[in-house]
């Protein structure tokens, strides 16, 4: 799954970007459920910089 597809899916289910973690990990939060989840989001720009 592409990073852009995952982000669209997260937003569709009520998640919002909360903060950046180390490396390519991001924390996404759902205010309706109070849940926070870590995802590894790798985009081409991040891959090229490695």
B/e letters for 6-45, b = 16+ CB within 10 Å, e = fewer, are ebeebeeeebeeeeeeeeeebebbeeeeeeeeebebeeee
Confidence of residue 49 (pLDDT cuts 50, 70, 90): very low
pTM of the model: 0.76
Segment 23-48, tens digit of pLDDT: 899 999 999 999 999 999 887 764 44
């Amino acid at each position: 799954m592409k990073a852009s597809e995952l982000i669209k899916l997260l937003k569709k289910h009520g998640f919002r970007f909360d903060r950046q973690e180390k490396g390519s990990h991001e924390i996404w939060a759902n205010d309706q459920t109070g849940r926070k989840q870590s995802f590894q989001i790798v985009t081409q720009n991040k891959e090229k910089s490695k």
